[in-house]
Amino acid sequence: MLVSHGLGIAFMGVYLSLIVLLSLYGIHRYWILYLYFRYYKWAKPYRLPAMFDPMPPVTIQLPVYNERYVIERLMDAVCRLDYPRHLLEVQILDDSTDDTRQIIDARVAQLRSQGFDIVHVRRSDRTGFKAGALAHGLSRSRGRFMAIFDADFLPPADFLRKTIPCFQDPQLGMVQTRWGHLNENYSLLTWIQSIFLDGHFLLEHTARNRSGAFFNFNGTAGVWRREAIESSGGWQHDTLTEDLDLSYRAQMNGWKFLFLPEVICPAELPVDINAFKTQQNRWTMGAIQTAKKMLPRIWKSPVSLKVKIEATFHLTACVGYILMAVLSLLLPLSLYFRRQSHWPLTGPLEGFALLATTLSVFIFYAICQRDLYPNWKSRLRNLPMMISVGVGMCLSNARAVLQGLSSRHFEFRRTPKYSVTARGSSWKKKIYRGGNPLAAFIEMAFAIYFLGAFTVAYSLKQWVSLPFIALFGFGYAYVAFLTAMHGLSSWQKPAFELITGKSEPAE
């Protein structure tokens, strides 16, 4: 009995320590909300300066890799930008290994015949991946400012008219715009992603930028001053998030950044759960790599303590996936050990964790939806699903954190795009598919584990635990189901192979 009691005390100590650590990130979420209201909602709106006179030359960079479904759409969009044609240079930074190359060649020839300065830039290898392509293009460009768009984006015609004038401030190094969503209504998965991204951009970016903290370029839908890139060490590829890395180096070098939440650049959200996982894994792994690289420099730098603390929360937020994965193992077991230990602090600490984590997430994204959409009340119905899916993704993302903490070098895996915007559009027989069947088995095992825990909790009348166990269990089940279904569809013979007789391009 003494051993059992001692084990219970040790277990509950670890369990409660985990929820307290997670609560710190939840409290920080409340802090972001405070900054958002103080420096944006309750402050004077930003006034767009007048355009340069004369207007400066701008280079549009489009880094692409195997984007046969969306590349022409993107090229046409940037050529519709409302900016003097003689001052606009477009670079297609193409590392493709499939027929995307031929598609680009044909469209470039058409656009050049219409008077556009557009070039198809190829490299002999993919050294540095996206960072290497951007650096290569920069060395061949003529623009004072570099506008960058990923293949799944469609910049509005007035994009440059609303961003370039901001650079009247000679200390401004980068302008980031808010991402919109071309296909948020396609499925529940895309709707959940849109809520995640809305919160990141509107609340996090606005709060950090307007309060004087560091924030980051998101790799696309933004404009850089050429001098800011070059003076800060240029594009580097020792992390998978070259955008985050350069952002921190530039701001530590004294350059100011600006976020324009009113300027929206729409993009296509991943419709395949495996593509979504690929995207999240890259972002997560790159963030922790950047934290390893930049946090020691930041804490040794002369920037203010406020900036250092905010940068630490920003760059280490993905550690929450590790905490959540471990908590997933411990939460069901706590039903037994809490009865053995009888700790009086268990209830109050779990209540505190509820307020700091789950409730903070709901309030955070509810405010974001309220400030963005007239029909925000109806959109709130998906918030519980969003929280649940966030839990279901934690195993995949926790693995990415561990990989990022290692010294291994990982390949940049871009997010597949299918040009799917309308509900009911087909994508399951298109190429660029992939997935990890083993992941679905692990996620389903966790779902079954929580189903058993739910049954035990109900029999023990642990009513407070039931909602949490249900939230975790459903999240794992939903992600496992999509992973399996979308993965199985990728085993079918793709249309590319049926038409050409060739195997699908290497990813």
Catalytic residues: 95, 243
Segment (H or E) for 488: helix 465-489
Q: Which three-class secondary structure state does DSSP give residue 260?
A: strand
Please calculate the CA angle 360-366-372 and round it to the nearest 5 degrees.
140
Alpha-carbon distances, residue 359 vs 351, 356, 380 (angstroms): 11, 6, 13
- In this structure, are residues 173 and 3 in contact, taking their beta carbons and an 8 Å threshold? no
- In this structure, are residues 505 and 103 in contact, taking their beta carbons and an 8 Å threshold? no
How far, in whole angstroms, is CA 254 from its chain's centroid? 25
- Which value, in Å, is the radius of gyration of the alpha carbons in the chain? 24
CA max distance for the chain:
85
- In this structure, are residues 152 and 417 in contact, taking their beta carbons and an 8 Å threshold? yes
Please calculate the CA angle 343-349-352 and round it to the nearest 5 degrees.
160
* β-strands 145-148, 222-225 pairing: antiparallel
Closest CA to 89 of 65, 67, 111, 64: 111
Write the DSSP symbol of residue 224: E
How many Cβ atoms sit within 10 Å of the Cβ of residue 16? Answer: 19
Using a 10 angstrom Cβ sphere, with 0-12 exposed, 13-18 middle and 19 or more buried, the burial of residue 424 is exposed
User: Residue 67 is encoded by which pair of tokens?
Assistant: 């984007």
- In this structure, are residues 209 and 215 in contact, taking their beta carbons and an 8 Å threshold? yes
How many whole angstroms separate alpha carbon 388 and alpha carbon 381? 13
The secondary structure of 411-450, three-state, reads: CCCCCCCCCCCCCCCCCCCCCCCCCCHHHHHHHHHHHHHH
